[in-house]
Amino acid sequence: MDNHSSKFKVRLGLFVVGGLALFVLAIFIIGKQKNLFNPVFKLTTTFYNVSGLQVGNNIRFSGINVGTVDNISIVNDSTVRVDMLVRQEVKQFIKSDCVVAIGSEGLIGDRLLIITQGSADATLAREGEELASVEPIETDAIMESVQITAANAEIITEQLAEIMLNINQGEGTLGRLIQDTTIARNIDQTILNLKKSSKGLDENMEAAKHNFLLKGFFNKKKRETERKAREAEARKAAGQNP
């Protein structure tokens, strides 16, 4: 009987110790989340829509968690007040012109507040000061924009497919140009004629150079070109040997 009673007392003691340990651990976790064990200062901001933000969500500054959301309350039909608890050691970096935005941890993670960096010459934020805010972009609006873009892309793809089909069938100017061999031969002949005309022009110019009426003109141009070349070489030589 005494042995059974001793075992019961041991089990009861272990249960009580385990319960106290779990209680202390829970208090520690909650206190750490609420910054109960760290000195904090309070800031506030307002939004038209908090977009799913909840009490206890993290606050980030420069990508680091620096506090938590302390309270969310509705002021009126167009304003929601958000109270923030920020660690005291970060106060020296929070300026009065910092802006608060609502973000998320990843694509589908919990909501959080992001405090942007202020300007270097701005004053430090005071206890309880209200910071400016930027309204969040709703996920529904993003999805609606993506759907519109996808619909436009589908229309453009269909139109391009129709144009390519018409070209392959020889319809339209470009289609006839590609499919009609007669037009292609005419273009080749036109290019060949241009080459012949260019060759004939070169021959005419060469003949003109030997014409006694124009020979003086071409000789004068040649002498002028040679004179400019000699002057350029002389300037170059003078520049290299001052």
Mean pLDDT: which of 7-11, 72-76, 108-112 is highest? Answer: 72-76
Shared domain for 172 and 121, answered yes or no, is no
Whether the predicted pLDDT of 242 surpasses 50: no
> What gap in Å lies between CA 150 and CA 148, rounded to an integer?
5
Same domain, 47 and 29: no
* Phi, psi of 48, deg, nearest 5: -80, -35
Q: Residues 129, 151: one domain? A: no
Q: Are 20 and 80 part of one and the same domain?
A: no
For the ranges 19-23, 194-198, 222-226, 236-240, the lowest mean pLDDT is seen at: 236-240
Backbone region of residue 85 per phi and psi (left: phi > 0; alpha: psi in -120 to 50; beta: other values): beta
Range of the domain at 172: 138-176
Of 25-34, 48-57, 113-122, give the lowest mean pLDDT range.
Answer: 25-34
Q: Are 26 and 72 found together in one domain?
A: no
Q: Residue 64 has which token pair?
A: 């680091």
More confident residue, 35 or 66: 66
By C-alpha distance, which of 76, 123, 73, 72 is closest to 95?
123
Residues 61 and 102 in one domain: yes
Query: Do 130 and 63 lie in a common domain?
Result: yes
- 226 and 193 in a single domain? The answer is yes
Residues paired with 112 in a beta bridge: 103
Per-residue pLDDT tens for 142-171?
666 777 888 788 888 887 877 777 767 666
47: its two tokens: 């939004």
Q: Do 130 and 164 share a structural domain? A: no
Cite the beta strand spans of the chain per DSSP E.
40-47, 58-61, 64-76, 79-87, 99-104, 111-115, 132-134
Q: How many domains does the chain have?
A: 4
Looking at the fold, whether 187 and 169 belong to one and the same domain comes out as: no
pLDDT in tens, 156-214: 888 787 777 776 766 666 666 666 666 667 777 778 777 777 766 666 566 555 655 55
Is the same domain home to 107 and 160?
Answer: no
- State the DSSP code for 241: -
Q: Are residues 142 and 231 in the same domain?
A: no
What global pTM score does this model have?
Answer: 0.48
